[in-house]
Every structure is written in C-alpha cells, then in structure tokens.
Amino acid sequence: MAISDVVVGGEADPKSPQGFRLTLDPKIGGGLHALDLATGKIVWSAKPVPCATARTDCSPAQSAAVTTIPGVVFSSSIDGHLRRYSAATGEVLWDTDTARAFETVNGKAARGGSMDAAGPAVVNGMVFVNSGYGQ
C-alpha cells in the first residue's frame, strides 16, 4: 500500500487571489508497505525517494492507488515520478519522471506532473498513466 503523509503548509503570496498559497514539504511523505493479509503485519517497507533539490512545491507523497502485476508493484507520486518496485522486496526496479515536457503525436505541447488519484493501468504489456494533476 502506498503512503501519503503529505505535509501541506502555506505562505503569504500577494499575487494569489487569497493572499497566500499552499506549499508542500519536499522531505516528508511517501513510501510503500507490503502487508501480510492474514496477520496485517508489515512484510517489507520501501522508503520514500526524496524530491529533487531543484524542484519547488514538491512532495514525495504517494497518495495514488498502486497497481500490481505478478512480481511488480507500480506506484506514482505527487512529485511526478512513476516507479516500479519488486513485489518481493520493495526495491525500486525502474523510475521515470513524468513531470516534464512530452512530444505528442499531433505536435501539440504536453506536460506531465503530479499523480495523486488513480494508479497506472497495465494492458497487454503496456503501462498507461494519467500524469499532470495541477498540484
């Protein structure tokens, strides 16, 4: 199961209609636990991967649903990363940053971002993810 533990703060921002804006803690939140369904005990835990230092308003929280296939757990995060974990150990096997510009088939500009709700879908060996939540 994914762990959110997102920490939201606020700071004054005269450009915002409300006079302030929400901020995210880049060092707190995120991670995974594998549970034994019979006992509820934690089998393994994967520590969160911290946000890159160059990013602002970033959180490593993993609040989206996880997706599993045999041997693999996919989990995405508010910082825009999609990771593939070993279902046996929790080791990160693969990591891609979706919070970036993408080339599209119709030539229009596209940009990924946070993933904070639905988990990825896996169909016929392809992984599909909705990236770009406005956080």
In this predicted model, what pLDDT tens digit does every residue of 24-80 receive, in sequence order?
888 889 999 999 999 999 999 999 888 876 777 788 899 899 999 999 999 999 888
Q: Is the pLDDT of residue 4 over 80?
A: yes
Q: Per-residue pLDDT tens for 98-128? A: 989 988 999 998 888 888 888 899 999 999 9
Looking at 3.40.50.12280, 3.60.21.10, 3.40.50.300, 2.40.10.480, the CATH number of the domain 8-127 comes to: 2.40.10.480
Ordered by start, the domain boundaries in the chain are: 8-127
| Single-letter amino acid, residue 27 | K
Q: How far apart are CA 68 and CA 90, in angstroms?
A: 12
Is residue 130 predicted with pLDDT exceeding 70? yes
Q: Copy the structure tokens of residue 79.
A: 């910082």
Are 81 and 71 a contacting pair, CB within 8 Å?
no
Q: pTM to 2 decimals?
A: 0.84
